[in-house]
Structure 1
Amino acid sequence: TSVLGRFTGKTAIVTASTDGIGFAIAQRLGQDGAHVVISSRKEANVNKTVDMLKEQKLSASGVVCHVGKGSDRAKLLEQVKSVHGRADILVCNAAVNPYFGPMLGTPENAVDKIFEVNVKSTFMLIKESVPLLQAGTNPSILVVSSIAAYHSMDFLGMYSVSKTALVALTKTLAPELGPMNIRINCLSPGIIKTKFSSALWKDPALHKQFLKQVPLGRVGLPEDCGNVAAHMCSDDAAYMTGESVVVSGGMPS
């Protein structure tokens, strides 16, 4: 638990934040003093997560939001605006991977879904959040990409391409957001122990194969990402924008 208080008085929006990396980021921002707005597609998960954070004496509220739906994004931002009047931190973590197999076998509907959620929705939410962020203090955006952006993984071809696009999105938006005093950076996790990546670490043979590529010799934990994310969103990283930080236990990127 951190008692840094570096986000005291700040409001942070974290998408797909009811478990895994999104939850770890939201929890750490809350531990550092932020009011965290939890969002996810399922109301039961949102409520459960908000209750869990409140039990930890953290400040949290929640909004149901499917980032692929413009009306849901509008509702999320409207709620933040009406309660807080601004946003200081936006973490874009929502992503899908409906297909696991050779890239040339990817069905068209899977391609559409991957780009719709992972790339288009991320861009649209950033674009729509700008007025709220401009009202914030030293505002910061964090886009969650993946080591797959740099080092395409077997059976995750189109997902890897979408994550490469997020690195490019971050680099392309940085010069446009900079004059507005909004920073934007990218976090690229390696193999982290989450439900989302369970195909990679639950199978003992695959797990062993992946660990050969990890100099630190272990699968990462969501907190490994939460801690770095909090630093990148804080004023400690005030002179950093347009960058991507890889958190992978040393896996080559």
Structure 2
Amino acid sequence: MFDLTGKNVVITGSSKGIGKAIAHRMAEAGAQVTISSRKEDLCQQVATEINESLPAGSAGKAFSIPVNINSKESLQNLVDEAHKQLGEIHVLVCNAALNPFFGSSMDIPDDAFDKIMAANIKSNHWLCNMVLPEMKARKDGAIIIISSIGGVRGNPVLGAYSISKAADMQLVRNLAVEHGTDNIRVNAIAPGLIQTNFARALWENPEILERATSRAPLKRIGQPDEIAGAAIMMASKAGTFLTGQTLIIDGGQTIA
């Protein structure tokens, strides 16, 4: 049920962290995956790393296609190049995001607020609309947006980022309702604190780390690989009746 053989997957922000883990594990499950981020050399490096790690005869393979998610033209190029290299796009994983500001919402500059909303919401909206037509024509497709537990709770230092991640959850619900009749499943994953470079400002801060782990049932932060399995489920036959949902993976942080 978790086999992705024959699936072509586009993954943004997949040169490191959660996106890289998803790409690596999906390739192991048989998918052809794109490694996509702004730095072309890093994308190629990760694609090579994944390909060299796969066993001989594996159906999985990684390709490299750089993208700037803030540019609609660059996103369209990502889709066009994926068609050339992979063929049809069966699965889209919107993982790339940014957060240039850490502090009170009263202090965030307008340009930082606008950057967060554009990169974390509008780019996902653009990219989804670019792949939806072929999914609708095929009557099959899966879209996964990586959100955050910031979207389900308030945060004194990540206000704009949390707003954008809540919006991503609503984007998932809207797309699921609009395109479900064409057998397109759209879901979100909301990770808790994961040990990535993106979240370094959080887990390297002793007070924030203590607050995030002391009351959580598992008493620790997560690793990127611990998000990848859920993405595989959503992309595979195991997730064919799942749509419009946000799966929180946070070691129990939000329930305690």
Residue 215 of structure 1 is matched in structure 2 by: 217
Shift of 1:61: 0.4
Shift of 1:8: 0.5
Residue 88 of structure 2 is matched in structure 1 by: 86
Residue 127 of structure 2 is matched in structure 1 by: 125
Query: Is 1:38 the equivalent of 2:40?
Result: no
**Cα deviations by residue, 1:45-91 (Å, 9 ceiling, x for unpaired):** 10111111111124010111011111111111111222333111100
Alpha-carbon distance between aligned partners in 2 of 1:141 and 1:16, rounded to the nearest angstrom: 15
2:2 touches 2:233 (CA, 8 Å); kept in 1? no
The one-letter amino acid of 1:56's match is: S
Alpha-carbon distance between aligned partners in 2 of 1:135 and 1:220, rounded to the nearest angstrom: 38
Residue 50 of structure 1 is matched in structure 2 by: 47
Relative to structure 1, is the Cα distance of residues 67 and 132 closer, same or farther in structure 2, using a 3 angstrom cutoff? Answer: farther
* CA root-mean-square deviation: 1.5
Alignment map for 1:164-243 (pairs within 5 Å): 164-243=166-245
Shift of 1:181: 1.4
3-state DSSP of counterpart to 2:63: strand
The one-letter amino acid of 1:204's match is: P
1:81 touches 1:132 (CA, 8 Å); kept in 2? no
**Cα deviations by residue, 1:182-237 (Å, 9 ceiling, x for unpaired):** 11000000000000111111122332222123210110000110011111111111
1:88 touches 1:137 (CA, 8 Å); kept in 2? no
Shift of 1:135: 5.6
The one-letter amino acid of 1:175's match is: V
Alignment gaps of 5+ in structure 1: none
Alpha-carbon distance between aligned partners in 1 of 2:90 and 2:156, rounded to the nearest angstrom: 37
TM-score by length of 1: 0.95
3-state DSSP of counterpart to 1:245: strand
The one-letter amino acid of 1:153's match is: N
Alpha-carbon distance between aligned partners in 1 of 2:19 and 2:138, rounded to the nearest angstrom: 21
TM-score by length of 2: 0.94
Between 1:190-199 and 1:124-133, the stretch displaced more is 124-133
Percent of pairs with identical residues: 35
Relative to structure 1, is the Cα distance of residues 137 and 28 closer, same or farther in structure 2, using a 3 angstrom cutoff? Answer: farther
Residue 162 of structure 1 is matched in structure 2 by: 164
Residue 24 of structure 1 is matched in structure 2 by: 21
Between 1:187-196 and 1:131-140, the stretch displaced more is 131-140
Residue 12 of structure 1 is matched in structure 2 by: 9
